[in-house]
């Protein structure tokens, strides 16, 4: 078990060792068990985390706020539109001051080609851990919860067939951070990962290269296909979720001709019938019901979306307890 976490930033899981990630999952499972038993876990008494949000949030905000309260600490929710950030204050100045006020800074900034740079700029100048609550490239908190959920449902993850599948949606032009994080993380656990998407919805070349390297190093596989049916066939885990065409098209427009040409990329019962009999359907939520997935699937026997969402609080608590606690 890795034991030195105090002050460690979490910008991407790619920069954390597998041993460190294993420790986070182990602590998450312990915290989940204690929560179920009503055992108090005041590991961060009187500690404060600042939660900066440039975008809306349900699971991420509440898992962090409730999580640190259950650890004995307090969260300050910061809507960046009401901060001096909105008047042009730079990341350095915000990070230096907030890190003097408290014990951690967590931030969601998903603006394309801005978010990750902003988080790294804060981490450079912060004297306390900076946690990525989703940026334009990564969503490490979601990745941890997804990994924990898969381990809970299957135990051994080696040779597990996992398909990350693009799906049609019109709610907003979503970041690529969830599929990119999953594509990098899952091969490190020996999974056979398929990334399926229609032409035009590519992930960055560097991310694909890293995913392939992770697979080679950890005896997993990483395959790309543009055939949706191929991704569902014999899969143990399917994660059909929309992401935007940011790599090829930086427009903020939600609906365009490319998107409309792929309305057939929806998770249906017919698609789920192609998977293994004990397969699971996952989604980071919120799902665009009727577009990404039909109700009978997300509300059906294969779906584990609520277990997956619950694990967001246990993994968030583990990250906070480890990086904000210690000696």
Q: What CATH number corresponds to the domain at position 33?
A: 3.40.50.1370
pLDDT of residue 128: 98
Residue 22 backbone phi and psi in degrees, to 5: -60, -40
Q: What is the pTM of this model?
A: 0.97
pLDDT of residue 326: 66
Residue 82 lies in a domain: yes
pLDDT of residue 293: 98
Residue 4 lies in a domain: no
Residues 295 and 153 in one domain: yes
Residues 98 and 164 in one domain: no
Residue 5 lies in a domain: no
- Smallest CA-to-CA distance from 146 within 237, 75, 218 is with 237
Residues 162 and 49 in one domain: no
CB 132 within 8 A of CB 10: yes
Q: Which residues of the chain have pLDDT under 70?
A: 326-327
CA distance 117 to 192: 31
Residues 158 and 257 in one domain: yes
Split into its structural domains, the chain has a count of 2
pLDDT of residue 274: 98
212-228 pLDDT, tens per residue? 999 999 999 999 999 99
pLDDT of residue 327: 56
Residues 152 and 301 in one domain: yes
Tell me the residue range of the domain where 285 lies. Answer: 142-308
Residues 244 and 317 in one domain: no
Residue 211 lies in a domain: yes
Residue 81 lies in a domain: yes
Residues 229 and 297 in one domain: yes
Q: What is the 3-state secondary structure (H, E, C) of 45-104?
A: CCCEEEEEECCCCCHHHHHHHHHHHHCCCEEEEEEHHHCHHHHCCCHHHHHHHHHHHCCE
301-326 pLDDT, tens per residue? 999 999 999 999 999 999 999 999 96
pLDDT of residue 3: 78
* Consecutive H or E run containing 20: helix 18-37
Structure tokens at 260: 């409309």
């Amino acid at each position: 078990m890795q034991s030195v976490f105090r002050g460690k930033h979490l910008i991407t899981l790619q920069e954390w060792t597998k041993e460190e990630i294993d420790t986070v999952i182990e602590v998450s499972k312990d915290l989940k068990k204690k929560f179920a038993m009503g055992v108090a876990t005041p590991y961060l008494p009187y500690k404060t985390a600042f939660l900066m949000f440039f975008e809306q949030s349900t699971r991420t905000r509440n898992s962090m706020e409730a999580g640190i309260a259950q650890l004995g600490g307090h969260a300050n929710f910061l809507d960046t539109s009401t901060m001096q950030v909105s008047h042009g204050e730079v990341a350095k100045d915000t990070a230096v001051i907030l890190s003097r006020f408290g014990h951690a800074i967590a931030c969601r900034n998903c603006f394309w080609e801005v978010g990750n740079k902003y988080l790294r700029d804060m981490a450079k100048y912060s004297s306390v851990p900076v946690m990525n609550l989703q940026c334009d490239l990564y969503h490490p908190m979601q990745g941890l919860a997804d990994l924990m959920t898969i381990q809970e449902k299957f135990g051994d993850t080696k040779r597990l067939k996992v398909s990350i599948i693009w799906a049609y949606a019109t709610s907003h032009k979503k970041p690529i951070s969830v599929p990119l994080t999953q594509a990098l993380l899952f091969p490190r656990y020996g999974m056979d990962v398929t990334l399926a998407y229609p032409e035009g919805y590519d992930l960055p070349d560097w991310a694909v290269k890293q995913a392939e390297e992770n697979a080679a190093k950890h005896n997993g596989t990483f395959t790309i296909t543009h055939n949706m049916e191929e991704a569902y066939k014999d899969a143990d885990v399917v994660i059909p979720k929309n992401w935007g065409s940011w790599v090829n098209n930086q427009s903020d427009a939600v609906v365009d001709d490319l998107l409309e040409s792929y309305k057939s990329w929806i998770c249906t019962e017919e698609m789920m019938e192609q998977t293994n009999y004990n397969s699971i359907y996952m989604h980071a939520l919120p799902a665009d019901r009727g577009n990404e997935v039909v109700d009978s699937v997300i509300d059906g026997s294969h779906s584990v979306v609520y277990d997956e969402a619950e694990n967001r609080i246990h993994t968030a608590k583990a990250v906070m307890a480890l990086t904000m606690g210690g000696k």
